[in-house]
A and B are shown apart, each in its own frame.
Chain A
Amino acid sequence: MPQDRQHDRFGALKRAIRQCNVVITVGLYTASMPFAYGMFAVLCFLWRKDERRRAQRLQRVTAFAYRSMHRWLTWLRITRFDHRQPLSGLPSGPCVVIANHPTLMDITSITAVLGSGTTVVKPALYRRRMIGPLLVGAGHVEGPGADPISTGRVVDEVVRRLAWGMPAIIFPEGTRSPPGGFQRFGRLAFEVACRARVPLVSLTVRCEPVYLSKEVPLFRPAHPTPRLGLGVLAVDDPAVVDHDSRRLRQLAEERYHSWLRELVPPSDRAYDPAAEEPECQIRSKTV
């Protein structure tokens, strides 16, 4: 069909333009990185007197940077994301925010929307000499790594950040979600919500077509323009499950699996063991 061929040609052209835009963006970001790094380091030093206020201010700076980045990416049609999209039902105070992790852009989009947030960072990244002090300054927490006992320190640190009034953003899968499925959820986020007695916000992240997943790298942008969207799946009060993090995890995990079942046709779904288990009997209360 000639019309299809023309469509393909335009598709290939658009893809090539987008690829050029990605190269330009990476170049610009690499060139401006020393300046941005210097600015952040100076602010981190200037605001060093009060640990809590420094973290709150630096998180706002980070959120501003992420919003600017998403505006730029939208303008260049590399991805589409509007951080002003309303997320109804978000609690006004501190909360634990969990989300699926389909792309590397989910943390930037969630932070852009929330305006602040502490995260749990991999020890290998946290201990880098250049980045570590900035992560500490912005109130992020070093992850547990290989030692299971150090999880206690992580839980205490995140609970402390929540007491400062900031949300904690945790990906319970620990790594990016496989296409059309989930990794098994860890219990850290749920334990933190139960101990701090703050609401657990379950967010959904959709990126269609998928981009910056493990399968689709940076320099192979998807076509058509990937559209990034966030949604609130539920807000749970841990009191509903008597502050039992196991039950809270089960509740959240089943909710994500049923969301996925509604979203993805069975043929495209990854193996989902939860789909074979009986429905959870726990009832949730929206707070």
Chain B
Amino acid sequence: MSDQIEDRLKKLIVDTLALEDVDPASIETDAPLFGEGLGLDSIDALELALAIHKDFGVRTKENDEKNREYYYSVASLAQFIRDKQAEAAAADPA
């Protein structure tokens, strides 16, 4: 289950950002997504946030100081999604 989110995220990154030369399996789970890692930029982060909202139902708040941490790597992003989904499940047990 836990690896599923990571795998889905990798595929989502490649599809959403149209990274034609990148195989989702080649994205390292702990490698940085921005800068020297996958080389994504802030506009990519924005597109990714919209795609995550659409696919996982998790909304990324604007001006949240932790966004940089959440979007650091596939692993941190998957943890962010898991936490938000758990929060939503706790708030609405039905």
Chain A residues within CB distance 8 Å of chain B: 144, 146-153, 155, 186-188, 191, 245-246
Contacts and interface: CB of A to CB of B under 8 A. Distances in A.
Given A186-B41, A191-B43, A153 B62 contact: yes
A149 B46 contact: yes
B49 A149 contact: yes
Nearest to B18: A246
Contacts of A155: 43, 46
Contacts of B44: 187
Contacts of A144: 42
A100 B62 CA distance: 29
Interface of B: 18, 34, 41-46, 49, 60-65, 67-68, 71
A152 B46 CA distance: 6
Contacts of B64: 147, 149
A77 B54 CA distance: 59
Contacts of A147: 62-65, 67-68
Contacts of A152: 46, 49, 62
B69 to A, nearest CB: 10
Q: Which of B34, B42, B45, B62: most chain A Cβ within 10 A?
A: B42
B68 A148 contact: yes
A149 B62 contact: yes
A149 B43 contact: no
A148 B18 CA distance: 19
